[in-house]
Amino acid sequence: MKRPVCFVCTALLMLALFVQPAAAWDSSVVVFKKNTNGRKTVALTFDDGPHPRHTGEILDILREYDVKATFFVVGENAGYYPDLLRRIVNEGHEIGNHTFSHRCFRKLTVSQMSREIRLCENSLYRICGQKTRLFRPPEGVLPGSIIEYIRKANYTVILWSIDTRDWARTSAEAMFENVKKNVSPGEIILMHDFTRGSHTAEALRMIIPYLIDEGYRFVTVTELIGSE
């Protein structure tokens, strides 16, 4: 899944967002990284699944703490594990579009990118009857050429403000320390439910109780951005 370049791509995207003249961007395309309204809420997000082991394990932990999260689903994986997608939805979590096959947009044409978004949308709708308005591009790479399609399709682009780096098999302790050090109201936390050898579940058992003790409320992305 080319994780090592993820950080670089994200940095480039951030740079592009800041250096582009305002007129080059359609202001009706909203890109969220966090909420700045000051409310003590955080959104946990899990990308790339569903996965036969990780997704179930993560769902069990979320249920244990009665925490709702948002899963940015890869359409192809949803097709392999439809029951897991239904479980995500039935347990009250939110789903978002993370393309059909997780190809990085950097190398794709507009028609390939829009097809990736559409196929994922169809897959999610076929399996659980839901349409999502949340879109997260693979590796956080969002070329300007796809903006018009995203605007017309009425998606909100969701990035993140804290990258736990679980995709790099970061230890649970290091992930916990990262969150502890950087958390503030309105953060969107990036994690994955499809990385072999990751310590995501173990880290969640430290991160969730800590944030609850600190007075944070876990919300879905829609709830987080809806109170902007």
47 forms part of the interface with Zn ion (CB under 5 A): yes
Q: 111: which 2 tokens?
A: 């028609």
- Contact stretch for Zn ion (CB under 5 A) within 17-25, 27-35, 117-125, 131-139: 131-139
- Minimum distance, C-beta of residue 64 to Zn ion, in the bound complex (Å): 25
Q: How many residues touch Zn ion (CB under 5 A)?
A: 3
* Inter-residue contact 181 to 207 (CB < 8 Å): no
- Minimum distance, C-beta of residue 98 to Zn ion, in the bound complex (Å): 6
- Minimum distance, C-beta of residue 7 to Zn ion, in the bound complex (Å): 13
Q: What whole-number distance in Å separates Cα of residue 151 and Cα of residue 60?
A: 35
- Minimum distance, C-beta of residue 193 to Zn ion, in the bound complex (Å): 10
163 forms part of the interface with Zn ion (CB under 5 A): no
116 forms part of the interface with Zn ion (CB under 5 A): no
- Contact stretch for Zn ion (CB under 5 A) within 46-54, 89-97, 111-119, 140-148: 46-54
Q: Is 47 marked active-site?
A: yes
48 forms part of the interface with Zn ion (CB under 5 A): yes
* Inter-residue contact 128 to 85 (CB < 8 Å): yes
Q: What residues between 132 and 161 interact with Zn ion by CB under 5 A?
A: 138
* Inter-residue contact 174 to 206 (CB < 8 Å): no
Give the CB-nearest residue to Zn ion: 47
Question: Within 65-183, where are the H helices?
Answer: 75-80, 82-90, 110-128, 147-152, 172-182
For residue 31, how far is the Cα from the chain centroid? 12
Q: 81: which 2 tokens?
A: 């594990």
Phi–psi pair at 73, nearest 5 degrees:
-90, 140
Q: What whole-number distance in Å separates Cα of residue 63 and Cα of residue 172?
A: 20
Q: Is 83 marked active-site?
A: no
Active centre residues (catalytic): 47, 192
Which residues are at the interface with Zn ion (CB under 5 A)?
Answer: 47-48, 138
